[in-house]
Chain A
Amino acid sequence: MIPTTYYLALSAILFSIGVIGVLVRRNAIVIFMSIELMLNSANLAFVAFAREFGTLDGQLMVFFVMTVAAAEVAVGLALIVAIFRSKASIDVDAVNLLKG
């Protein structure tokens, strides 16, 4: 049986790749995909812990995270489409009307 730590290490690596993706990439869709990667790395951690403990809470949480991620996709893609319609670009550096 594969030890739980291996799964956790993989999930930490995936999470870090996601964070780096969000910070480095400039395309809104790719940033969004990186965020999904972070959510799924958390799912992997949940499942790994749930198998280790023999409880169901972690597996349950995964379903909620997937549902919420789906809802976020629906809203997020709609926003990105709206931006693309008015700017013909989804580069986040082009979205700079408001100075922060």
Chain B
Amino acid sequence: MAKKKGVQKSEVRSQKSEVNFLPCSPASPASPSPHLPISPSPPPLSLLPTITVWAIALLVTATFAWIVGDIIWHGAGTISWEFLTTAPKNSGREGGIAPILVATGLILGVCLAVSLPLGIGTAILLAEFTPTDSWFGRLVRRSLDVLAGVPSIVFGLFGNVFFARTLGLGFSILSGGLTLACMVLPILIRSAEEGLRAVPNDYRLAAASLGLSRTTTLWQLLLPAAVPGLLVGLVLGIGRAMAETAALIFTSGYVDRMPQSLFDSGRALSIHIFDLSMNVSGGDTNAYGSALVLVVLLLLINGTAAQIADRWLHKF
């Protein structure tokens, strides 16, 4: 009974969104619907909002450009092959960031290895097997939204108590990665769920009418179609994880030695930047250099994800 109701609901939903839906591009903004009433000629006063909107857009862009420009200006001189491949010396004032890059990569790796399967699994459960307005779906979704807004320091303290102490992982890359996984999960699940929901219901009905099993439909049809949505979540998640300082200082720790295993403590890039600019006098140059590396890494990840999404769309 409940199942039937769910199908009916999703039919209604798909009809509603039919108008502005572009196949396979759930992330694209909705194009103006032809059904919306458009006033014949805009009143002259509309100039003011136009200017305001443009000014705000310019302001946002300018702020971004200023920050990136400042980091490049101060940090570009520091970057060299040596900076990327040597260990920090004299509390990071001299030397490079090699162990810190490795630790950051490992933390991110643990985070994604745990959060991706869990996140996509939960998203599939929420989008495909749970009716939109069931109490279970609503409860999970509400808790995820609350979790997404929890300050990272809270995750850090939780990670310190649960992973580092209760599970006995101590200050380690594993503790840090698992804490980040908890932090990233809400974002990942919600965007993956949206990605799946944006796949037109016709696909599901067509697959059912062809007699495909739900598993085949999921693997062969729904997941590939939802990949761009998943990537959006992934990029947002990686962004949040890479920029994290507060949650990591209590979990993955401060040690700037080259990590030997996942049980070693390792300093993440963002913590290195924080430490150099706040606790180490004379560390500003290398702090800027590290910040530049972090920004470039994030841009690279974003760019790659965008490219993959693009390719995928053409292939599909």
Tell me, yes or no, whether A binds B. no
Q: A residues bordering B, Cβ < 8 Å?
A: none
Q: B residues bordering A, Cβ < 8 Å?
A: none
